[in-house]
Every structure is written in structure tokens, then in C-alpha cells.
């Protein structure tokens, strides 16, 4: 019934409007867990149910984490059901099917997500949904799916776009100023990417999901291509603004830098997605884990945990459970994210994958104040200072009650500015409250 309402609503509205749904799904950025960064292709129903039960036992559900998402490799390779043309869940790794897992996840009061691609095959070579959008959306709805991550692999040559689009995704050596100097065949000035084949591939699935009789959050994953930020608000609830994350600081820093220029696209119902969290993975330092989570939370991207929850350390878990950052992220009054107010290490507006903007602020109804973040992009310990007169939300006052978001400690009435010594790649997060 909800989906029918959505179809009706959508067809009446101009395309600039987002996927607004009566039940509120997609208004705020999603929170949950996904199998890929933890297990890659080595996924099965046991691992999914372990993640689901841990989300409850570790207190993550109580903080708002609700989606348990199965990524690539859940199906039988190379074939669809000859009668129904549906994708076939792998009977050995998902013996109760996807619907069986969905029932158990729902019984725990959680929601379940699945994965496909806007191509003929997924990134790992499994059947994907291009040309089968209605069949797959109907199957997902019948199985009880609540969330679809929709990737960009397996695109046949007759579905590739006429022009290339620059996603400045590489290292600083390749594009120090956010351009793609070696890219061939760019679109002419003024080209409308909402007329591209990429746009068609994703809107087909949007329409199939809206017609499927169940609310399914639509998580677009076209890696920032086809100028997705300019049209995705009317296509999906979130959209990847860059290529894949990995558990190393160089990559996380690159994405943070790139996304810092997309903050005007963040709002209710639409969220640029800097990709799933790597907290707990690889050899990131504790400061790096902290800064990663804090930046992802204040940019209001989806917070999708990507580590094995049955082996997570208390330190990593505490980062994922930071109540101040989660409250900022889930603000029901302010849809906008934090924005950089000063780059710090670099002059303002410098595109530098190794040194993203270091000073951020944003308003918060849930914290009843302003969130201020300071980041040290250098590879050595350094001091960073938040000066109240520089923070846009604080114009007019010179002394505020301040709380440190990592320790929860009240720092008292702080006059003019607050300085911190930060280890390499660490971030300080302050809640700047009432004037005093
Ligand atoms: C294909 O779908 C039919 C009808 O639902 C079902 O009876 C059959 O078992 C399915 N085959 C496979 C291989 O899943
Ligand atoms: C999933 O993998 C784990 C670890 O390899 C294994 O213990 C478990 O039995 C597997 N479950 C299924 C349903 O394949
Ligand atoms: C690509 O080819 C397939 C199969 O011939 C066809 O169904 C599809 O419509 C074509 N795509 C485009 C964008 O023309
Ligand atoms: C930097 O940007 C300018 C245009 O603003 C461009 O001409 C130049 O090629 C870019 N440099 C690199 C290395 O991308
Ligand atoms: C996306 O659409 C929603 C609903 O129409 C709107 O509230 C929001 O501001 C839009 N986001 C942006 C960044 O324009
Ligand atoms: C650990 O970090 C180093 C750089 O400090 C990097 O070269 C290496 O690949 C990382 N290892 C893993 C497992 O991420
Ligand atoms: C530290 O940063 C400097 C300046 O950005 C850079 O030249 C140097 O290679 C970095 N050292 C390490 C170990 O990353």
C-alpha cells in the first residue's frame, strides 16, 4: 500500500523532488552493517545472523543501527530460475533462502538489505538486475527486503554513456586540484547527465522498487559517475560519490577530501555516500578510526559498519557508539551536514587528497548547540585551535559551555577559543553549547 502511495506521489511531483515516503524511510541517513568490508565474497547466513544478534547484544540497535545488509555473492552464479527468471539464493550458503534470513532478522526488530548491480553481472560476477528490474524488485519485496545497494558492475557496451565524467578519485599526484587531466571525451558544457544511460539504469530500478509493494531504501552505487550528485536526490536515498573505500588512511583521506566539496548536496531524503565504514579493519590507528567515524558522521553519509562484530575490540566499538556523533547524524530538525569553515593546513577550498579540510562545524537540535570538529591531517602530532569567532554558527558570542565528544567531559565555560594537541590523523569533536 505504501508503495502505491509512493508511485502516485512521485508521478505528481517534478523530478527534482526526492523519494519522500509516508513512513519516513530515507529521510535521515541510514545506519547499519554490511558484510563486504568484513567478509568480501565469503558470506553466508550464519555470518549475517551473527552480525544481527551482535548488533543487539552490543547495544548498537539501541543507538539506531538497524540495517543488516548482505553484499555481493549471495546467489547462484551464471543462472536464473528458468521458470520465474528470479535470481536463485545460494542453497548451501543461504539454506533458508534470503526470505528465511529476512524473517529471523525481522524477528529481532532489525531490517535487512540485499545487493545487486545496474548491469548484467555483479562485481563478483553473479547475476545482476539490468533488464530484470521488475522481476528482481518483486522478489526482494516478497522476501522481505528493506534496503537495496545497487552497484555499477557488468554494464554492457550498449549501456555505456556517450561521454566520460571526471570523478577526481586518485592520488594527489594524479589530480592535485580535483581535475582529471588525462580523461578523454568529456561532456560538452551544459550537458544534462539526467539524460544519460547511467541515469536510466538507476531510475529503472527506482521505479521497479516503488512499484514492488514494499518500502525498500534505495542505495545507489555508481561510484560518483555521470554527475550523480545533480540527479540522485530524485532517484535514490543515498548515492556513492566516489569509488570504493579501503582500510588504509590514504584512501579514507582521499574520499573525505572529495566529499567535503559535496556538502551542499546533503539534505533530508538525500545523502552523498562516502562508502561503508572501515572502523575496526586493516591497520588504521586508533586516531584514524576516530577521525574516519567522526568525518563520516558529520558529513551525514550512511553509517554502515563493515567489520566483524563478534570479534570487534571495545575501543573500536566505543567509536561506533559515540552518542554525540550519532545524535548529530540523526538530527530530525537539521537536514544539512557539517561544512568545513576553514581548511587549516591548506588555503580554503584547496583540493588535496592528503590534507582535507581540517575545521568543520554544523548546527544540531539534538545536541542543543554546535558541533565543531578539528582534524590533524599531518603525519605528526600538531596543535589545532577552534576560534569561536571563525565558526559560522557561533557568530556573536565569545564564551560557550563546551563538551568533549570523545570523553564526554565538560570543559566548562571556554572563552574565545579551544586548542588541542592531536596525534597524526586524529580528530577532536566538541559540542559547543550555551553562551556563558
Ligand atoms: C524455480 O522456481 C520454481 C517456481 O517458484 C520453483 O518451484 C523451483 O524450485 C525453482 N528452481 C530453482 C532452481 O530454484
Ligand atoms: C558460514 O561460514 C562459517 C565460517 O566459515 C561456518 O562456520 C558456517 O557453518 C557457515 N554457515 C553456512 C550456512 O554456510
Ligand atoms: C542493449 O541491448 C539489449 C539487448 O539487445 C537491449 O535490450 C537494450 O535495450 C539495449 N540498451 C540500450 C540502452 O539501447
Ligand atoms: C589543475 O587545474 C587546471 C585548470 O583549473 C588544469 O589546467 C590543470 O591541468 C590541472 N592540473 C592537474 C595536474 O590536474
Ligand atoms: C532533496 O529533496 C528533498 C525533498 O524534496 C529536499 O527536502 C532536500 O532539500 C533535497 N536535497 C537537496 C540537497 O537539495
Ligand atoms: C598498513 O599500512 C601500510 C602503510 O602504513 C600499508 O602500506 C599497508 O598496506 C597496510 N596494511 C594493511 C593490511 O592494510
Ligand atoms: C609526511 O608528510 C610530508 C608532507 O606532507 C610528506 O612529504 C612525507 O612523505 C610524509 N611522511 C610519511 C612517512 O608519510
Q: What angle do CA 274, 425, 39 make, to 5 degrees?
A: 50
pLDDT at 238 over 60: yes
Ligand nearest to the CA of 156: 3
Does 179 have pLDDT greater than 90?
Answer: no
Q: Which residues are catalytic?
A: 151, 244
| pLDDT above 70 coverage of the chain, percent | 95
Q: Which atom number of ligand 2 is nearest to the Cα of residue 95?
A: 13
CA dihedral 379, 168, 277, 121 (to 10 degrees): -140
CATH topology of domain 341-435: Immunoglobulin-like (2.60.40)
Supply the residue whose CA is at minimum distance from atom 5 of ligand 1.
84
Question: Is pLDDT of 31 > 80?
Answer: yes
User: Which ligand is located closest to the Cα atom of residue 380?
Assistant: 7
Residue pair 12/49 in contact (Cβ under 8 Å)? The answer is no
Choosing from 35, 42, 47 the residue with most ligand 2 atoms within 8 A of its CB, the one to mutate for a pocket test is 47
Please give the distance, rounded to the nearest whole angstrom, from the Cα atom of residue 260 to the centre of ligand 4. 19
The pLDDT assigned to 67 comes to 98
- Ligand 7: centre distance to CA 317 (Å): 30
Environment class of 92 (CB within 10 Å of its CB; exposed 0-12, middle 13-18, buried 19+)? exposed
Q: Please, what is the average pLDDT of the chain?
A: 94
* Domain boundary assignment for the chain: 2-337, 341-435
Mark 166-176 as b/e (b = at least 16 C-beta within 10 Å).
bbbbeebeebe
Contact 152, 223 (CB under 8 A): yes
State mean pLDDT over 172-192.
84
Return the pLDDT at 174.
65
How far lies 432's CA from each of 34, 142, 271, 369, 401, in Å? 33, 47, 25, 6, 6
Q: Helix, strand or coil for residue 427?
A: strand
Closest CA to 417 of 392, 391, 386: 386
The answer for residues whose C-beta is within 8 angstroms of residue 357's C-beta and 6 or more apart is 257, 260, 340, 342, 343, 344, 375
For a mutational test of ligand 3's pocket, the pick from 158, 160, 203, 204, i.e. the residue with the most ligand atoms closer than 8 A to its C-beta, is 158
Q: Work out which ligand 6 atom sits closest to the CA atom of 246.
A: 14
Q: List Cα–Cα distances, 177 to 258, 261, 348, in angstroms.
A: 11, 12, 13
Instruction: Supply 129's cell numbers.
Output: 538486475
Q: pLDDT tens digits for 184-194?
A: 999 999 999 99
| 174 vs 200 pLDDT, higher one | 200
The CATH number of domain 2-337, selected from 3.30.420.40, 3.40.50.2000, 3.20.20.70, 3.40.50.740: 3.20.20.70
Residue whose CB lies within 8 A of the most ligand 6 atoms, among 280, 283, 307, for a mutation test: 283
- Closest residue by Cα to atom 4, ligand 6, is 248
Q: Which grid coordinates belong to 59?
A: 547495544
Q: What is the pLDDT of residue 257?
A: 96
pLDDT of 340-369, one tens digit each? 999 999 999 999 999 999 999 999 999 989
Ligand 4 atom closest to 177 (CA): 1
For a substitution probing ligand 1, which of 79, 84, 90 has the most ligand atoms within 8 Å of its CB? 84
Ligand 5 atom nearest the C-alpha of 264 is 13
Strand, helix or coil at 142? helix
pLDDT tens per residue across span 140-154: 999 999 999 999 999
Q: Could you report the per-residue pLDDT of 258-297, keeping only the tens digit for each?
A: 999 999 999 999 999 999 999 999 999 999 999 999 999 9
Q: What is the pLDDT of residues 409-432, one digit of tens each?
A: 999 999 999 999 999 999 999 999
Q: Are the CB atoms for 340 and 360 separated by under 8 Å?
A: yes
Q: Report the pLDDT value the prediction gives residue 177, as an integer from 0 to 100.
A: 76
Centre of ligand 3 from the C-alpha of residue 159, in Å: 7
Per-residue pLDDT band for 396 (boundaries 50, 70, 90) equals: confident
Residue nearest to atom 5 of ligand 3 (CA): 158
10 Å CB burial of residue 433 (0-12, 13-18, 19+) is middle
176 CB near ligand 6 (under 6 Å): no
404/431 Cα distance (integer angstroms):
6
- Indicate whether 9 pLDDT > 50: no
Residue 247 Cβ contacting ligand 6 at under 6 Å: yes
Distance 157 CA to ligand 3 centre (A): 9
The ligand whose atoms approach the alpha carbon of 285 most closely is: 6
N-terminal to C-terminal alpha carbon distance within the chain: 52
pTM: 0.94
For the CA atoms of 47, 50, 54, 55, the dihedral, rounded to the nearest 10 degrees, stands at: 60
For the CA of 92, the nearest atom of ligand 2: 14
Question: Which residue lies with its CA nearest to atom 1 of ligand 6?
Answer: 283
Taking the C-alpha atoms of residue 358 and residue 373, their distance in angstroms, rounded to an integer, is 8
Read off the pLDDT band of 5 (50, 70, 90): very low
Amino acid at each position: 500500500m505504501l508503495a502505491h502511495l509512493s508511485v502516485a506521489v512521485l508521478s505528481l511531483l517534478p523530478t527534482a523532488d526526492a523519494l519522500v515516503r509516508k513512513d519516513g524511510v530515507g529521510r535521515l541517513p541510514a545506519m547499519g552493517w554490511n558484510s563486504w568490508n568484513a567478509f568480501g565474497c565469503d558470506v553466508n547466513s550464519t555470518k549475517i545472523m551473527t552480525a544481527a544478534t551482535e548488533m543487539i547484544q552490543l547495544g548498537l540497535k539501541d543507538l539506531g543501527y538497524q540495517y543488516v545488509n548482505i553484499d555481493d555473492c549471495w546467489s547462484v552464479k551464471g543462472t536464473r530460475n528458468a521458470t520465474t527468471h528470479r535470481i536463485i539464493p545460494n542453497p548451501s550458503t543461504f539454506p533458508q533462502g534470503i526470505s528465511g534470513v529476512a524473517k529471523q532478522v525481522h524477528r529481532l526488530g532489525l531490517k535487512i538489505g540485499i545487493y545487486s548491480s545496474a548491469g548484467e553481472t555483479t562485481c563478483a560476477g553473479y547475476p545482476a538486475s539490468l533488464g530484470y528490474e521488475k522481476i528482481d524488485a518483486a522478489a526482494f519485496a516478497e522476501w522481505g527486503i528493506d534496503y537495496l545497494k545497487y552497484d555499477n558492475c557488468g554494464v554492457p557496451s550498449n549501456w555505456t554513456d556517450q561521454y566520460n565524467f571526471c570523478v577526481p578519485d586518485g592520488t594527489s599526484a594524479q589530480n592535485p586540484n580535483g581535475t582529471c587531466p588525462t580523461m578523454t571525451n568529456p561532456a560538452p558544457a551544459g550537458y544534462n547527465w539526467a539524460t544519460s544511460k547511467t541515469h536510466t539504469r538507476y531510475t529503472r530500478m527506482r521505479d521497479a522498487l516503488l512499484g514492488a509493494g514494499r518500502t525498500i531504501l534505495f542505495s545507489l552505487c555508481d561510484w560518483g559517475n555521470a554527475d550523480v550528485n545533480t540527479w540522485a536526490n530524485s532517484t535514490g536515498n543515498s548515492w556513492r560519490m566516489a569509488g570504493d573505500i579501503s582500510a588504509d588512511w590514504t584512501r579514507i583521506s582521499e574520499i573525505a577530501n572529495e566529499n567535503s566539496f559535496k556538502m551542499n548536496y546533503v539534505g533530508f531524503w538525500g545523502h552523498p555516500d562516502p562508502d561503508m565504514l572501515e572502523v575496526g579493519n586493516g591497520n588504521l590507528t586508533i586516531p584514524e578510526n576516530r577521525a574516519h567515524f567522526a568525518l563520516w558522521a558529520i558529513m551525514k553519509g550512511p553509517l554502515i559498519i563493515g567489520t566483524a562484530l563478534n570479534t570487534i575490540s571495545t575501543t573500536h566499538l566505543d567509536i561506533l557508539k559515540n552518542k554525540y556523533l550519532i545524535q548529530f547524524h540523526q538530527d530530525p530538525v537539521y537536514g544539512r551536514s557539517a561544512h568545513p569553515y576553514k581548511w587549516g593546513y591548506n588555503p580554503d577550498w584547496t583540493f588535496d587528497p592528503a590534507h582535507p579540510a581540517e575545521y568543520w562545524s554544523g548546527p544540531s537540535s539534538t545536541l542543543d548547540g554546535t558541533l565543531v570538529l578539528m582534524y590533524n591531517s599531518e603525519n605528526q602530532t600538531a596543535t589545532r585551535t577552534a576560534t569561536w569567532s571563525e565558526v559560522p554558527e557561533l557568530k556573536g558570542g565569545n564564551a560557550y559551555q563546551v563538551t568533549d565528544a570523545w570523553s564526554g567531559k565538560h570543559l566548562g565555560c571556554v572563552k574565545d577559543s579551544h586548542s588541542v594537541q592531536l596525534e597524526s590523523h586524529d580528530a577532536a569533536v566538541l559540542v559547543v553549547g550555551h553562551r556563558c
